[in-house]
Amino acid sequence: MGFFGMLPLGSLLIGTISQKITAPLTMFCQGIIALIITAVFYRIFSKEKANKIVSQHELQVDEALAVEKVNQ
């Protein structure tokens, strides 16, 4: 719903920009912005995944230590 609700506004904005700076330059700018957004999200999600992996490893180490204590 949010995508389709914002689509007409985005089209109006891009149409206005393309009239001011030409269509090819507008498409180029959209591509650059898309690459920047992709890089930002990649960094965010790769940090979350790394934190998740570290937490799982810490849990496994804690479980192994608890098992060793029980066995002693």
Neighbours of 14 (CB within 10 A): 15
**pLDDT tens digits for 50-64?**
566 656 656 565 666
- CA–CA separation, 19 vs 2, rounded Å? 26
Token pair belonging to 40: 């930002």
Per-residue burial over 39-51, b = 16 or more CB atoms within 10 Å of its CB, e = otherwise: eeeeeeeeeeeee
Question: Does the model's pTM come out above 0.75?
Answer: no
pLDDT of residue 22: 92
pLDDT of residue 61: 59
Sequence spans of domains, the chain: 2-71
The CA-to-CA distance between both ends of the chain, in Å, stands at: 59
**pLDDT tens digits for 5-32?**
778 888 899 999 999 999 999 999 999 9
